[in-house]
Structure 1
Amino acid sequence: MTGTLLFIIGPPAVGKMTVGERIAARTGLRLFHNHMAIEPVLRFFPFGSPPFGRLVDRFRSDLMEEVAASDLPGLIFTYVWAFDLPEDERAVDQFAEPFRRRGGRVLYLELEADQAERLRRNQCPSRLAEKPSKRDVAFSQRNLLELDRLHCLTSDGRFDDRADYLRIDNTRLEPTEVATAAISHFGIPLLAGPGGSPTQG
């Protein structure tokens, strides 16, 4: 059976990548944070340009297709979903389609944190190490504030009644706490320990 696709969604600097790393380490799901597609293309084309959009979308879609068709346990994909933009919802559905078509699970973990905390996290060394385009901190801070102003980056409980959806305010939670809650809520299988049995959640 096809593996699991776990979306981790939320506004910039909410902690999607860090939580994804914790979940990946305990479950074997492979982490595909969004900037893995963005950063290489930025070396050639500016953000938002037609070639940039085509290349990034093609890489994302191709990777989803290949992982869904493989024997990997699945994928964690981080994404800033602007809930006011229909094209973002279509993109999320498009990324999920290869998993759904093969009978895989598609899950959604939404993270929320207040703006002051996200501005602090925007400067975290791990974020800057993985995302070179964020190293101009003044620019990335302006971008964060502008996205908050222009778009609705939280679902506001729109999907809270769905079994495949979990929303967590992680303003004051450690990434490991969030990862533990998500793994438990969704029943994601853990990696086997040295004796061949699953490790403790």
Structure 2
Amino acid sequence: MKLVILFGPPAVGKMTVGQELEKITTLRLFHNHMSLDLVHQFFDFGTPAFERLDRRIRFAFFEEIATSDLDGLIFTYVWDLNEPADTDYIDTVADVFRQQGAAVSYVELKADLSERLKRNRDAHRLACKPSKRDVASSESSLLYFETNYRMNTREGELGQKPLLTLDITSQEPLATAQRIKEWLN
């Protein structure tokens, strides 16, 4: 069993790279918006009910997958590395899998802001993520995150955790997925 935590800023390409990685491995993808967009149909982002239900859904999946006969999971996340609660959340996700003997790997994606703003309007992204279809709101959120969150690591920040960092500003998703697959093996 493997858990791959695929993280980086909004619109960097986490879901798209995760989809390509799922196609070329036996790992399954749980991208962040699978639960976010489901819960958002009922509750506004950031409300206590939204946060509780999103967490319950995710951890129900994580616990079932970690004890299943699946080969592993790719999980995407926008991680604010300055926010201890985000780091605790990622550690809790990883612990669910580690407790079952899974190997946990971290893949950090980076891309220039100008490229991420283009990707934010990509038809595939909008088709897969209903909450991003209000492009003006999505772009505003992306810029807010850019200003207020630190979503990429500093040298050595994750300590001994297996980390692959890739700048994918000009790299195709399949090439990125192939690079991740090589690293995982």
TM bin (shorter chain): over 0.9
**Residue in structure 2 matched with residue 197 of structure 1 by the alignment:** none
TM score, norm. by length of structure 2: 0.97
Offset of 1:161 from its aligned partner? 6.6
Counterpart of 2:12 (choices 14, 29, 36) is 14
Letter of the structure 1 residue corresponding to residue 128 of structure 2: E
Question: Where in structure 2 are the equivalents of 1:49-64 lying within 5 Å?
Answer: 49-64=47-62
Q: Is residue 106–residue 161 contact of structure 2 (8 Å, CA) maintained in 1?
A: no
**Residue in structure 2 matched with residue 128 of structure 1 by the alignment:** 126
**Residue in structure 2 matched with residue 192 of structure 1 by the alignment:** none
CA distance, structure 1, for counterparts of residue 159 and residue 165 of structure 2: 10
CA distance, structure 2, for counterparts of residue 134 and residue 127 of structure 1: 8
- Residue 96 in 1 paired to residue 94 in 2? yes
Letter of the structure 1 residue corresponding to residue 115 of structure 2: E
Offset of 1:67 from its aligned partner? 0.2
Letter of the structure 1 residue corresponding to residue 11 of structure 2: A
Counterpart of 2:82 (choices 61, 81, 84) is 84
What is the RMSD of the two structures over their aligned residues, measured on CA atoms?
Answer: 1.2
Counterpart of 1:74 (choices 72, 75, 92) is 72
CA distance, structure 1, for counterparts of residue 123 and residue 180 of structure 2: 25
Offset of 1:9 from its aligned partner? 0.1
Q: What secondary structure, in the 3-state scheme, does the structure 2 residue paired with 1:6 have?
A: strand
Offset of 1:157 from its aligned partner? 2.7
- Residue 157 in 1 paired to residue 155 in 2? yes
CA distance, structure 1, for counterparts of residue 118 and residue 7 of structure 2: 19
Q: What secondary structure, in the 3-state scheme, does the structure 1 residue paired with 2:3 have?
A: strand
Q: What secondary structure, in the 3-state scheme, does the structure 1 residue paired with 2:151 have?
A: coil
Q: Is residue 164–residue 186 contact of structure 1 (8 Å, CA) maintained in 2?
A: no
How many residue pairs match? The answer is 185
Q: What secondary structure, in the 3-state scheme, does the structure 2 residue paired with 1:143 have?
A: helix
Offset of 1:132 from its aligned partner? 0.5
Large movers: runs of 4+ above 2 Å: 156-163
- List alignment gaps of at least 5 residues for structure 1: 188-201
Letter of the structure 2 residue corresponding to residue 142 of structure 1: S
CA distance, structure 2, for counterparts of residue 185 and residue 74 of structure 1: 15
- For residues 103-127 of structure 1, the C-alpha deviation after alignment (integer angstroms, 9 at most, x for no partner) is 1110111000010000000011110
CA distance, structure 2, for counterparts of residue 8 and residue 163 of structure 1: 13
Offset of 1:162 from its aligned partner? 4.2
- Residue 139 in 1 paired to residue 155 in 2? no
Counterpart of 1:169 (choices 159, 162, 167) is 167
- Report percent identity of matched pairs: 45
Q: Is residue 160–residue 166 contact of structure 1 (8 Å, CA) maintained in 2?
A: no
Structure with the bigger RCO (C-alpha within 8 Å, sep 6+) is 2
CA distance, structure 1, for counterparts of residue 130 and residue 137 of structure 2: 12
- For residues 25-64 of structure 1, the C-alpha deviation after alignment (integer angstroms, 9 at most, x for no partner) is 1112111000000011111110000000000011111111
